[in-house]
Amino acid sequence: MGWTLLILLVVLTVVHGNPTVMVRTGSGPTVGFDQHPNSVPLGEDIQTTTEGESEVVEEVMTTGVLNPSHYPARRAATVVQHYLNTRYGSPYRWIFLSTVHSGSAEDVAEMGRKYQLELTMQEMISNVSGQCSAELFFPGGEGQSAPQVQASCEGLHQSNTTAQEEAFYQQHRASNNLVSGNNIPDSYGHMEPSMKPFWQLGGVASSFIMLRESNESTLYNMAQVANFTQLETEKDQLRFNYHVLLHEMISQEIIHWKLLVTWSPEQGVQVLQTELQPKCHHCEAPPNTTN
């Protein structure tokens, strides 16, 4: 009977809470190392930590010529990607880092670190690639201050998005049919074609936050658009509330942000407000992770 099914569903939903906490205490044997020729004894090249604390190890940030395969150049290059999206991105133009060709970094006397990079960037919708030269400055010191970027690219703007952008703009400009959506893409990586430009717009808008929040120990990507809602068009700008999930690679955290976004073909993407969402309401705030 349908009732059995309904009851079963109710019971299942209730059961999917946290399992009853049974703290299992077990003292396993201390794990030692087999003395295999390849094995490396513990203690070599590791900072010892005091109880309960993790010491932050000063990363040996390479100065001088950077290896394009290694992470310092890659992280800096991703910051350039975010910067380019804030400048040139739209619902039909979304830029991603393709290749790091070369790079160098140097300390700037107690003020921060400066990078110089040669990159290939790719526009995702048109598949057009372009060569970019970029300079970044990561400010040092205690305050979290956004990196400063300068970049010039050849060939990236070849993609002609004017017609699509204009059509999209006209389609959504009138306020009688405001759009909204959620889980873009869904768990399976799928999205309705009509949602795609909103996903792309979300990615570009996220770039404003990702640029601002970036430093040499972060690598950001937008993981998902949790939801977006179109608001009334104001001053000829399409307006949206977005809730996005950002993935930060080094901490592996998923960070929730709410944004107020505007766009028009002429003005480009602007982010008027940003609001960090708590990780979860009943969790402790995570302390700074080591790295």
Partner 1 sequence: TMKGLLVLTALFVAVFGKETFEGDQVLRITARDEVQLTLLKDLSEMEYLQTGPLCWFTTDLPTSVDIRVPFTSLQTVKAFLETEDIEYFIMIKDLQVMLDEEKEQMLSSARATAPRTSDDYDYSNYHTIADIYAFQDMLVAENPNLVSKIVIGQSYQGRPLNVLKFSTGGTNKPGIWLDTGIHSREWVTQASGTWFAKKIVTDYGRDAALTAILDKMDIFLEIVTNPDGYYYTHTSNRMWRKTRKPNPGSSCIGTDPNRNWDAGFGGPGASDSPCSETYRGPKAHSESEVKSIVDFVKSHGNLQAFVSIHSYSQMLLYPYGYTRTPCKDESELHNLARKAITDLASLYGTSYRYGSIINTIYQASGGTIDWTYNQGIKYSYTFELRDTGRYGFILPANQILPTAKETWLALMAIMEHTKDNTN
Can you give the binding site for partner 1, defined by CB under 8 A? 1-2, 5, 16, 18-19, 21, 23, 28, 31, 33-34, 36-40, 42, 44-47, 49, 52-57, 59-60, 67, 69-71, 74, 78, 96-97, 99, 124, 185-190, 221-224, 245, 247, 249-254, 279, 282-287, 289-291
CB of 24 to partner 1, least distance (A): 9
Contact by Cβ (8 Å): 126, 104: no
What does the alpha-carbon distance between residue 118 and residue 122 come to, in Å, rounded to a whole number?
A: 14
What does the alpha-carbon distance between residue 122 and residue 96 come to, in Å, rounded to a whole number?
A: 5
Contact by Cβ (8 Å): 131, 156: no
CB of 151 to partner 1, least distance (A): 18
CB of 226 to partner 1, least distance (A): 10
Nearer to partner 1, 17 or 141 (CB): 17
Non-local CB neighbours of 225 within 8 Å, separated by 6+ positions: 181, 182, 183, 184, 198, 199, 202, 242, 243, 244, 245
The letter for the amino acid at 33 is: F
CB of 44 to partner 1, least distance (A): 6
Element (H, E) at 124: none
Nearer to partner 1, 143 or 286 (CB): 286
CB of 232 to partner 1, least distance (A): 31
CB of 2 to partner 1, least distance (A): 5
Element (H, E) at 76: helix 71-88
Nearer to partner 1, 82 or 239 (CB): 82
Q: Which two tokens stand for residue 190?
A: 């799928």
Nearer to partner 1, 170 or 291 (CB): 291
Nearer to partner 1, 6 or 272 (CB): 6
Nearer to partner 1, 253 or 275 (CB): 253
Q: Select from 166, 172, 136 the least CA-distant residue to 151.
A: 136
Q: How many residues does the chain have?
A: 291
